[in-house]
Amino acid sequence: MQLEVHKNCEEKMKKTINVLKEELHSIRAGRANPALLDRIMVNYYGTPTPLKQIASISAPEPRLLVIQPYDTNSIKDIEKAITQSDLGINPSNDGKVVRLAIPMLTEERRKELIKVVKKTGEDAKIAIRNERRDANDSLKKMHKNNELTDDDLKRAEDEVQKLTDKYIDIIDELVNKKEKEVLEV
C-alpha cells in the first residue's frame, strides 16, 4: 500500500518536472528556438489554434526563426498573434513565410528573464512540496487506520523525503542551466 503512495507521488513529481521543462523552453534565451512559439495561439478561421499545428517552424540561423504556414492565407493571422504575444519580436513576411529575427538580449532584459526563470523554478518546487505533503497525509491516514506501524510510517516518510530532495535537486539543476543559457552572450 505504501509503495502505491510512493509510486503516485513520484509520477506526480515527474509530471511537475516535465511541465517545468516545457515552461523553461518557452523562455527566450537570445538564441532562435522553435519552442519559443509553442504557446502562440493563432485565430485561424475564428478558432484559436496552436501555431505549430498550422505552420512548420524552423531555425535556419542562430538568430532567425522561419514560419512556413501550410495555408498562405493565414500569414496575417500568424503575424497578428506573434505581435500580440509577450515575445517582443516583430515579424516580417514575404507573402510565403514569416521571419522572426531574434534580437540580442539587453542586460536589463536578461535580468528580467532570470527572475522569470527563478519564479518558474520556485513554483515547481512548491508543487513538489505539495506532492510530498499529500503523500505524507496519505501515509498518516494509513497509520491511523492501523495499516502501517510506527516504524513503517517513519520509513515511508523518509522515502517520500528522499524523492522530494531528488526532484528539488533536478529543478535546481534545470533552473541553473536555463540561467546560464540566458546569461550567455
Instruction: Note the pTM of the prediction, 2 decimals.
Output: 0.72
pLDDT, position 36: 79
**Residue ranges of the domains in the chain?**
2-25+106-183, 34-101
Amino acid, single-letter form, for residue 56: S
Give the architecture (CATH level 2) of 34-101.
2-Layer Sandwich (3.30)
Digit-by-digit pLDDT tens for the chain (185 residues) are 667 888 999 999 999 999 998 888 877 666 777 877 888 888 888 888 888 888 898 888 888 889 898 888 888 888 888 888 877 778 888 888 888 888 777 888 888 888 989 999 999 999 999 999 999 999 999 999 988 888 988 999 999 999 999 999 999 999 999 888 888 76
- pLDDT at residue 5, rounded to an integer: 86
Give 10's contacts (C-beta < 8 A, 6+ positions apart): 163
Q: Which CATH superfamily is domain 2-25+106-183 in?
A: Ribosome-recycling factor (1.10.132.20)
* Per-residue model confidence (pLDDT) at position 161: 94
Dist CA 113 CA 65 (whole Å): 20
pLDDT attached to residue 2: 66
